[in-house]
Structure 1
Amino acid sequence: MALAGSEVELKVQAMNKKKTTISRSWILLDRDGRDIVLDVDKYAIMRLVEIHARDLRIMDPLLSYPSTILGREKVIVLNLEHIKAIITAEEVLVRDPMDDDVVPVVEELRRRLPLKVSVAGQGQVEEELCVQEGEGGEENEFPFEFRALEVVLEAICSFLDARTRELETAAYPALDELTSKISSRNLDKVRKLKSAMTRLTNRVHKIREELENLLDDDDDMAELYLSRKLAVSSSPSSSSDGPNWHHSPYQGSKIHRSSRGSAATLQGENDVEELEMLLEAYFIQIDGTLNKLTTVREYIDDTEDYINIQHEY
């Protein structure tokens, strides 16, 4: 009885420990690269940005949701491997910013989110922004949400490609060694590498599939144009009677800039070419990573065929 009680107590302690290890930490970065670390629960996040519980659940580390790029009315929800983020038209929230794999992503967001303009004076800054927008400056034309999305896509594609290169580095010598000397040790090493390759292939395939599905649907891509939708909603012709869910810690909002081009935005409401080019670039990259894994798989299959032939004769 005492032993049974101890086992129950240990299980309860393990469950409590597992719960406490789930981080509630988020980091919020604005378009100027400023950041605030937030230690809040999901309800605070739901109040901070317009997001429903079912969408926030996608990023729950305790639940096994597939890789997702989800466009909502005012946010983009990202669940890509270890990177779990919420992007608005002006800010990005990243979960678990102190995680070793997430820290480089946060640093890159800090570096690339701010627009590079002169700060000689506030009036001059506004004037330069207007001039650059009029000249079609690429950096200023690229919406904030896509700059944030690009950082995340680049990070996850590079991360998976690095894991693939590590697997290649280990797999090819191990397979060659098995070919030259068939032993239980070498067979076990190749078996473990094959299992690791299968798991990694599934992870890469999920990212590739999500990008492919997004590229195949113009409506889904249009949902990711948060700045465009914000410009339409803030134009004089649109109704502004609805509730404002978004209460940012940063009060220096620059929403008025997006409204300047609202007339042009209305005309190009269904134009998704800009986003399509962005997604296509990373689709090609992740597809290349998948091809590398396919090549490793074929090499493993060829080696297994060779071993089987050796056993037959």
Structure 2
Amino acid sequence: MVIRMNLNRPMKSFWKTKIRQPSRKSSCQLEQRHVFRLLSQRAFNCKSRSAFQARNANFKGPEKPIESERLLYQGLEISESKQFALGSSLATRLSTDRTLQCTEFDDKGNIVARNVEIKKSDLVNKFGILSRDLRKIDDEHDFPAILVRESTILVNFLQHRALITYKRVLVVHLGTPNTGINYDSSFMYGLQGKLNFGISQHSNLPYEFRALETVLVMVISELDVEYQKIKTPVNKLLDELQHDVSLEKLKQLLDVSKQASAFRQNVQRVRTALHTVLEADDDMAAMYLSGKAAGTPRQEADHTEIELLIENYYDASGEIVDKADKLLSDVEYTYDSVRSILDSHRNSIMMLDVQFSIAAVGLGMATYVVGLYGMNLINGLEENIHGFSFITGGSVIGILGVGIFGLYKLRRVRKIYSMHGMHYDRRHRTKN
């Protein structure tokens, strides 16, 4: 008798049970399960210890957790915060390792470094600021701002970025050396001349105020120049649209009006940044860097010089905002005028169409009557010598009657519509 054994099935089940792929669970779940098991074990140990102490009153067990448990908890805390700490340190390192192209001026207004690459970490250590403060002068940050720190003033206005101390100015260039501000630009010459002039003429303004004033002068000048560049084509288009309205001119007016709106928004941002500083007495007092370096810091209410300086350019920016508003109002008024002209032309075309429709109705009625008598049927007027005159005269009178009646109704409708429009305009003006 031969006994046959099926070896495939046992071996298959064996490989399924013995060589099994491990379950893919996250380390966080495993650590939570391990902590839960440890806490349960500790609770059980505490209950057992309390029961043992109840039976043995003289026994004094350890009040602190054992060393292995403490190390396990410490390792668990490190493992949970490891990813966040690593990510934050990496992000900080990447942000501070970036370089900025800068030009540095000394306390006498001379350029000591031209278009040099400086790491952000070096700027943080050199000027005593935080790494997040450098975001105000990044290429991605387009909002104007004046940031006051203990020994540094960070300035960001349009394309002018600078770090100002009581004895040095670091101008940050935007973009590459070919596209950014170079040291021989008007801004660099103006800054160098202002700093040298203050020393030679013994100006009462501190070094940091003269540097800040140079930045504000350049900003206001550039805004004024940009306003003139926008104003010229806008006024030209407005004059042309008063005589001739075309689609191409309307498209051009739309483009320049968008430019004017963007310009007005930029000027308003500059004005808002200056207003923010004027509203903060502590920031204005902290801007006296030379006094703090000399050991005589200003009180919070003692900031007359810097307040007058910033207020002067705040008013100048306000004038440019008013000019931009007036320019936009002229564009809007022109749009309304063009819209009224187009509406008038459209209404004239519609009235002409209605008049032709009324004339067509009168002619249609006359044609209907003529068609009735034009049929080859006996109607009793064939032998009448006045039949032709009667039918023709009646048709003409019918056409004129329909036309006069239609025009009368049309005029009445126009009168009612115009009275309604005047009443609406008067009510709208009263509400405003």
TM-score (ref. length: structure 1): 0.72
Aligned to 1:209: 272
**Rg: which structure is higher?**
2
Aligned to 1:27: 103
- What secondary structure is seen at the aligned counterpart in 2 of 1:207? helix
Amino acid at match of 1:64: H
Q: CA deviation at 1:166?
A: 1.0
- Match runs of 1:83-162 below 5 Å: 83-96=160-173, 99-100=180-181, 103-114=185-196, 139-162=202-225
Whether the aligned pair in 2 keeps the contact of 1:82 and 1:101 (CA below 8 Å) is no
**1:195-240 Cα deviation digits (max 9, x unpaired):** 10111111000001111121122112112111122222xxxxxxxx
Instruction: Select 2:313's aligned residue among 276, 282, 295.
Output: 282
Aligned to 2:284: 221
- What secondary structure is seen at the aligned counterpart in 2 of 1:181? coil
**1:164-213 Cα deviation digits (max 9, x unpaired):** 01111111111111222111110111000011011111100000111112
Whether the aligned pair in 2 keeps the contact of 1:78 and 1:86 (CA below 8 Å) is yes
Between the two proteins, what is the percent identity of the paired residues? 28
Q: Which has the higher helix share?
A: 2
> Which stretch of structure 1 is more off in the superposition, 73-82 or 104-113?
104-113
Task: Output the CA distance in 2 between the equivalents of 1:47 and 1:220.
Answer: 22
Instruction: Select 1:46's aligned residue among 103, 107, 124.
Output: 124
In structure 2, do the counterparts of structure 1 residues 51 and 117 end up closer, same or farther at CA, with 3 Å as the change threshold? closer
Task: Output the CA distance in 2 between the equivalents of 1:24 and 1:60.
Answer: 9
Q: CA deviation at 1:114?
A: 2.5
Task: Output the CA distance in 2 between the equivalents of 1:115 and 1:306.
Answer: 53
RMSD value, Cα:
2.1
In structure 2, do the counterparts of structure 1 residues 101 and 308 end up closer, same or farther at CA, with 3 Å as the change threshold? farther
In structure 2, do the counterparts of structure 1 residues 229 and 296 end up closer, same or farther at CA, with 3 Å as the change threshold? same
Q: CA deviation at 1:141?
A: 2.5
Whether the aligned pair in 1 keeps the contact of 2:99 and 2:118 (CA below 8 Å) is no
Q: CA deviation at 1:48?
A: 2.2
Task: Output the CA distance in 1 between the equivalents of 2:290 and 2:323.
Answer: 37
- Match runs of 1:183-194 below 5 Å: 183-194=246-257
Q: CA deviation at 1:94?
A: 0.3
Task: Output the CA distance in 2 between the equivalents of 1:95 and 1:26.
Answer: 5
In structure 2, do the counterparts of structure 1 residues 309 and 144 end up closer, same or farther at CA, with 3 Å as the change threshold? same
- What secondary structure is seen at the aligned counterpart in 1 of 2:102? strand
Task: Output the CA distance in 1 between the equivalents of 2:323 and 2:329.
Answer: 10
Aligned to 1:181: 244
- What secondary structure is seen at the aligned counterpart in 2 of 1:90? coil
In structure 2, do the counterparts of structure 1 residues 79 and 184 end up closer, same or farther at CA, with 3 Å as the change threshold? same
Whether the aligned pair in 1 keeps the contact of 2:281 and 2:300 (CA below 8 Å) is no
Mark the runs of 5 or more structure 1 residues left unpaired by the alignment: 1-21, 119-136, 233-261
Task: Output the CA distance in 2 between the equivalents of 1:222 and 1:26.
Answer: 28
Amino acid at match of 1:192: D
Whether the aligned pair in 1 keeps the contact of 2:230 and 2:256 (CA below 8 Å) is yes
Give structure 1 regions of 4+ aligned residues with deviation exceeding 3 angstroms. Answer: 115-118
Greater length-normalized contact order (CA 8 Å, ≥ 6 residues apart): 1
1:305 correspondence with 2:336: yes
Aligned to 1:196: 259
Aligned pair count reads 240
Task: Output the CA distance in 1 between the equivalents of 2:173 and 2:103.
Answer: 8
Whether the aligned pair in 1 keeps the contact of 2:278 and 2:310 (CA below 8 Å) is yes
Aligned to 2:151: 74
Task: Output the CA distance in 2 between the equivalents of 1:196 and 1:117.
Answer: 41
Mark the runs of 5 or more structure 2 residues left unpaired by the alignment: 1-97, 345-432
